[in-house]
Structure 1
Amino acid sequence: MEHVTFRNRDMYWDIAADIYFPPNFDAARQYPTVVVAHPIGSCKEQTSGEIYSAQLAEQGFVAVAFDASFQGESGGEPRSVEDPALRVEDFRHVADYLTTLGYVDADRIGLIGMCGGGGYAVNTVMTERRYKAVATITGANYGRVLRETEGSADAVIAKLEQIAAQRTAEARGADWQVDGGLPESVEQATEMGITDVDILGATEYYKTDRGAKPNGVNKTLRSHMGVGYGWDAFHLAEELLTQPLLVIVGSVPGGFGAYRDGHEIVRRARSEKKELVVIEGWSHYDLYDKDEPVAQAMAKLTPFFTENL
């Protein structure tokens, strides 16, 4: 594995990535390459890199896990910005960089997005045609998640008013307001009366040694959240999403809605080759790192990218 940084040429900062190489890697050859996008609030050292990129490399692919701009080891200020438009642009800059590497076959680049990264990946490939195939692992439509979390259109409007007020305050010199995404522990979540499998799963993954990493902070800058509430990852999928599509979800649905989003995007995508895989008995965060569901996901991902790249 090699750690690299490269310039986000439009925004003037660097993107950090880890490149995983297959066994007996030969830089004089060209390889099919798969980019793996991390979940919202995550980083490249967690499931996108140390689990899926590492295993894809073992199967003969060059695999690339990168940190989103404003997050992890990538540049961009202020920190913890979660802006769908900028997240989609990151994928274009990653593709730019990969086309400069002699060992990457520029005509065989694929994309995987995890959780919110799955929604970003689907949205990206509609207009970024250098990605020839796309897969999602428990992928979620971030805009839908935000709106549903508020509960109603009126509540969304109220949240947008709060965001506007916070942005004005910061413009006048107030401190940034950074929102934490999760309880501090599973015990705290239980004490708060939380029973949703996704929130409990996220807390266990991100707040314990199971998945915790220094850069997986699960924090969001409130003043920059407005665009997310008006965003739809699946907009124009019926017209522009034509690449081969593989959607993997667990059968146990949770509050983040990836199960529903998976069914929706497969139904709506224009892609002639598309498949929904439901991994029975497992939930959203089980697919991040647990051996059995990850093995089942890899058993689909490897032939999918072998065939379509």
Structure 2
Amino acid sequence: MSSTTIKHVTYKNLGWDTAADLYLPPSFDESKRYSAIVSTHPIGSCKEQTAGNIYAAGLAKEGFIVLVHDASFQGASGGTPRFIEDPAIRVSDIRFAVDYLQSLPYVDEQRIGAIGVCGGGAYTIHAGITDHRLKALVSITGVNFGRLIREGFANFKPLESIENMAKLRTAEAKGGDRSVVNLLPESVEAGRKAGVTDIDVLEATEYYKTSRGQQPNGATSQLMSFSSAAMGWDAFLNAEVLLTQPLMIVIGDKPGGFGAYRDGWEIHGRAASTNKQIVVAEGWSHYDLYDKAEPVALAMAKVVPFFKDNL
């Protein structure tokens, strides 16, 4: 095998199956044992987008086995109702991914790390706080979804937002339609016409709603009636005590409304890790780090040796 191979796999989750892509390195040999990495996609994304076709693919070329999974209730993974974004279950998905990797005879169970993008970056950090089978962690422009849903997604009115979620869920419990909403405008032009000025929302739309990043399962949708679980969640809870693994944070220095810049500096400060690094991609934004060649190369030039040194 002279090039990277993608193997489509499924494995058991809580009460459904997870769909995942296993990226195998060039010249893969089943008789050898490899370091492995779990790659976690952003909120509203899927395994075929940045966590897969950029970061998993790039790390596999460097000799790692990389597993990138669709979140429960999303993409090709099972679970109903669809489009739930529950941080506890997103973190649980990472634990099941570790379980699966540890079941493979060609994975060294003591050399498993994790990487995640956007919301997946903060989920990766929380997974590391609570699951020390993960030996090294990388967050690419990571966003603490709990903070974001209490602030920007709630228009800084969290109590009003959580009351609205309660009303939606009550209506659904009585037989009403599910309240699935698209988190983004249909196009950049539509967003601007609606008065959107935030760089993160506009660049997210340009990524997810055009041929640049669009994939059939990248739905950018969320079941808002089930989102109240995120309102009381903090990706960085207990990081000062329990987050001890080697940690790398990658952020752009063009901050936007999703808050990766501030979240990156916060967790870098809070983590108990003695080996922790922050990489700032100067002149680049949150969504530039999803797939643009120059900032991705800048990130990978740090991420690859970090994983090689720590796995």
TM-score, normalised via structure 2 length: 0.97
Instruction: Give, in whole Å, the separation in 2 of the partners of 1:87 and 1:177.
Output: 20
Partner of 2:306: 304
Which residue of 29, 34, 46 corresponds with 1:31? 34
User: 5 Å matches for 1:62-77?
Assistant: 62-77=65-80
Which residue of 55, 59, 79 corresponds with 2:58? 55
Partner of 1:129: 132
User: 5 Å matches for 1:269-288?
Assistant: 269-288=271-290
Q: How much has 1:194 moved relative to structure 2?
A: 1.4
Partner of 2:101: 98
Instruction: Give, in whole Å, the separation in 1 of the partners of 2:155 and 2:61.
Output: 43
Instruction: Give, in whole Å, the separation in 2 of the partners of 1:156 and 1:196.
Output: 20
Q: How much has 1:223 moved relative to structure 2?
A: 1.1
Q: SS state of the match for residue 288, structure 1?
A: helix
Partner of 1:164: 166
Q: SS state of the match for residue 151, structure 2?
A: helix
Q: How much has 1:158 moved relative to structure 2?
A: 1.2
Partner of 1:295: 297
The reply on whether 1:247 has 2:249 as its aligned counterpart is yes
Q: SS state of the match for residue 69, structure 1?
A: coil
The reply on whether 1:17 has 2:20 as its aligned counterpart is yes
Partner of 1:147: 150
**Paired residue type of 1:131:** L
Q: SS state of the match for residue 235, structure 2?
A: coil
**Paired residue type of 1:5:** T
**Paired residue type of 2:268:** V
Partner of 1:4: 9
Instruction: Give, in whole Å, the separation in 2 of the partners of 1:47 and 1:176.
Output: 28
What per-residue deviation string (whole Å, max 9, x for no partner) do you get for residues 217-274 of structure 1? 0100011100111111011110110000000000111110000000000000000000
Instruction: Give, in whole Å, the separation in 2 of the partners of 1:83 and 1:238.
Output: 23
Partner of 1:138: 141
Q: SS state of the match for residue 39, structure 1?
A: coil
Q: SS state of the match for residue 43, structure 1?
A: coil
TM-score, normalised via structure 1 length: 0.97
Partner of 2:3: none
Instruction: Give, in whole Å, the separation in 2 of the partners of 1:161 and 1:197.
Output: 29
Over the aligned positions, Cα root-mean-square deviation in angstroms equals 0.7
Moved over 6 A (4+): none
User: 5 Å matches for 1:170-181?
Assistant: 170-181=172-183
Q: SS state of the match for residue 17, structure 1?
A: strand
Instruction: Give, in whole Å, the separation in 2 of the partners of 1:3 and 1:91.
Output: 17
Q: How much has 1:16 moved relative to structure 2?
A: 0.6
**Paired residue type of 1:7:** K
Instruction: Give, in whole Å, the separation in 2 of the partners of 1:185 and 1:127.
Output: 38
Tell me how many residue pairs correspond in the alignment.
305
**Paired residue type of 1:140:** V
Instruction: Give, in whole Å, the separation in 2 of the partners of 1:280 and 1:139.
Output: 16
Partner of 1:41: 44
Q: Which runs of 5+ in 2 are unaligned?
A: 1-5
Q: How much has 1:97 moved relative to structure 2?
A: 0.9
Q: SS state of the match for residue 267, structure 2?
A: helix
Q: How much has 1:119 moved relative to structure 2?
A: 1.0
Q: How much has 1:151 moved relative to structure 2?
A: 4.0
Q: How much has 1:157 moved relative to structure 2?
A: 1.1
Q: SS state of the match for residue 106, structure 1?
A: strand
Q: How much has 1:110 moved relative to structure 2?
A: 0.4
Q: SS state of the match for residue 227, structure 1?
A: helix
Identical-pair percentage: 57
Instruction: Give, in whole Å, the separation in 2 of the partners of 1:192 and 1:271.
Output: 43
**Paired residue type of 1:284:** H
Instruction: Give, in whole Å, the separation in 2 of the partners of 1:240 and 1:206.
Output: 35
Q: How much has 1:169 moved relative to structure 2?
A: 1.0
**Paired residue type of 1:261:** D
Partner of 1:115: 118
